[in-house]
Amino acid sequence: MEHTVYQAQLLEPKFWSIEENGVRCFLVEGEREAMLVDTGFGTGDLKAFVQTLTSLPVFVVNTHADRDHIGCNGQFSPAWMHPADFDRCARSPQGKDLPLRPLWEGQVLELGQRRFEVILIPGHTPGSIVLWDEAHKTLISGDSVQAGNIYLFGPGRNLPALITSLEKLIARCTDIQTIFPSHGPLPLPGSTLPTLLQDARDLQSGKLTGTAPDRDVPGHLFRGKAAGFYYDGPIL
């Protein structure tokens, strides 16, 4: 496999985004090891590419188990993931038979000058997490907080759970300055989060107008001020 499908951008010292055809991973280099957040679609040799950025041992953390986030897990096996998404991973062709280790709410990932707290935010998937670096006021947000279009259709997706999770994040992660999402514009300001919460509430209450989706997915595309939602569920 070629690793030329990847492009890296240095966001902060020892902190890179890695772009792959509409999805991105993040690499954070610590003192003794490096953390790779998600592994993309699996279309290239991600391990070889990561080794051009760091010589440290690498461990993988998955924000959730959708196929575009676990594609190269096997190159770094095992990976850390919230157990609520273990079944979702096992049912995916990309995740079948991959060894997983549990990553729990409140666990802190120590990387020297950076410490990331694991926060569980179900809604996009049951085991979706974000990684909160309180000292640097930054959030690695996966798919759940972004300015693109959030998938809220099919098994495991739940709009009320997402709303509750966004409320939780606002209460827990005070004074967020920078958000690093897996899709769409990068970075996002912390002010995106309350706007996204209002978008989700507006979707639930029927205040957003649905249009035909721009890809082959069920339901409709509902666009708010911060993000859109591919949604096929009930409107209150």
- pLDDT digits over 205-221, tens only? 999 999 999 999 999 99
* Inside any domain, residue 182: yes
- pLDDT digits over 171-188, tens only? 999 899 999 999 999 999
* Inside any domain, residue 211: no
Query: In this structure, what CATH number is given to the domain that contains residue 23?
Result: 3.60.15.10
Mapping DSSP to helix (H, G, I), strand (E, B) and coil, where does residue 62 land?
coil
Number of domains in the chain: 1
Rama region for 73: left / alpha / beta (φ>0; ψ in -120 to 50; rest):
alpha
* Inside any domain, residue 110: yes
**pTM score of the predicted model:** 0.96
* Inside any domain, residue 71: yes
Query: In the 8-state DSSP scheme, what is residue 83?
Result: G
**pLDDT surpassing 70 at residue 236:** no
Q: Rounded to a whole number, what is the distance in angstroms from the first to the last CA of the chain? A: 48
- pLDDT digits over 5-35, tens only? 999 999 999 999 999 999 999 999 999 999 9
**pLDDT surpassing 90 at residue 96:** no
* Inside any domain, residue 207: no
Residue 156 has what pLDDT?
A: 95
Confidence of residue 166 (pLDDT cuts 50, 70, 90): very high
* Inside any domain, residue 30: yes
Distances (CA, A) of 210 to 73, 205, 228: 35, 13, 10
* Inside any domain, residue 209: no
Q: How many angstroms separate the CA atoms of 186 and 230, rounded?
A: 21
Q: 183: how many CB neighbours lie within 10 A of its CB? A: 19
Residue 1 has what pLDDT?
A: 43
Q: Show the domain range for 99.
A: 7-189
Distances (CA, A) of 184 to 9, 148, 155: 15, 5, 23
Residue 234 has what pLDDT?
A: 83
Mapping DSSP to helix (H, G, I), strand (E, B) and coil, where does residue 51 land?
coil
Query: How many contiguous H segments (helices) and E segments (strands) does the chain have?
Result: 6, 17
Rama region for 211: left / alpha / beta (φ>0; ψ in -120 to 50; rest):
beta
Q: How many angstroms separate the CA atoms of 37 and 159, rounded?
A: 24
- pLDDT digits over 190-200, tens only? 999 999 999 99
Residue 3 has what pLDDT?
A: 54
Q: How many angstroms separate the CA atoms of 71 and 96, rounded?
A: 11
Which two three-digit tokens encode residue 46? 């991600």
Which two three-digit tokens encode residue 121? 């935010």
Sheet holding 7-12, edge to edge: 7-12, 15-20, 23-29, 34-37, 58-61, 79-81, 100-102
* Inside any domain, residue 12: yes
